[in-house]
Amino acid sequence: MNITFKIIFLLSMSGSLFAQNSFKQQQLSFERVKTAYSDKWNGLKKDLKIKGINDEFQMYIVAYKNEGKLEVWLKNKNQSTYNLFKSYEFSAHSGTLGPKIKEGDRQTPEGYYAINAFNPQSNFYLSLGVNYPNQADLFRSGKNKPGGDIYIHGNQVTVGCIPLTDDKIKEVYVLATEARNAGQKEIPVSIYPFRMTNENVKSKLSLYPQQKLFWTNLQQGYAYFVRHKKPPVVQITNGGYIFKS
C-alpha cells in the first residue's frame, strides 16, 4: 500500500516517554480520529459494558482470509483469556490462500504478527500497521523482496492488506487506541488462511498441497487459540513457528 503522507506512532515507544492518556490525546489531535471517537466511542462503551469489559482492556485481532472475517477479542487486564467482542467483514480481497512471498504478489500474509503503527492520516482513511515481514516471512521469501506496508485499513480496495469499510475501521482504530493508551504495548494479530479445523485443513490441502508444512505449523497455533482463548506464545524461526505452552 503506497502512502504519500504517513504519520506513524510506533507502538514500541517507552511508557516513560508519555504520561497516562497522552497517546490517546496525541491521536485525538487528528481530525479523523476525533471523528471516529465522536461517531463510535459512546456506542462501543455500551457494548463493552454489556460484555463486562472495563475501561482498561487488552486487545487481540484474529483474521481469516477465506472467510473474509476480522475478529476483535478483548479482555480485562486482570483476566487471562480473551472473549470475542466484534466481528467485521473484509471490504475487499486480493490474492489467494497461502502466505505472502514477495513484493507485488498481492497476497495477504499468514502468520503471527502485532500492530506496530497507527496512521491517522492514511490514504485509506485510518490504518493500523502489521509488522510483516517477520523472520519466518524473510526466510520464506528467499532472494525475493518480501514487500511490506501491510495494514488493516479503511476504504474498499486492497493489494494484500486487510481492508474494512471506513465506518468499521473507525471502531477497530478506536479500540486499538484505547488498548494502547491503557498500556498494551503489543496488540497481537494472527492471520489464518481459514478456520484451521482438521476438516478445513484437509479440504484446503487438496487444493493447495504445497502449503502442507506451513499450514500444519499454523494449525498448532490455531488449536492453542481455540483451546485457551488467547494468542499463542510463539518463537519465530527460519520458515516457521515454535509454540510455547
**93 is a catalytic site residue:** no
**110 is a catalytic site residue:** no
- Cell numbers for 235: 518463537
- Extract the runs of DSSP E, i.e. beta strands, from the chain: 9-10, 57-64, 69-76, 83-89, 111-122, 125-130, 150-153, 162-163, 188-192, 233-237, 240-244
Give the separation between CA 173 and CA 221, rounded to whole angstroms: 25
Q: Which of 161, 187, 191, 196 is catalytic?
A: 161
Q: Which of 40, 75, 153, 204 is catalytic?
A: 153
Give the separation between CA 148 and CA 135, rounded to whole angstroms: 13
Catalytic residue ranges: 153, 161
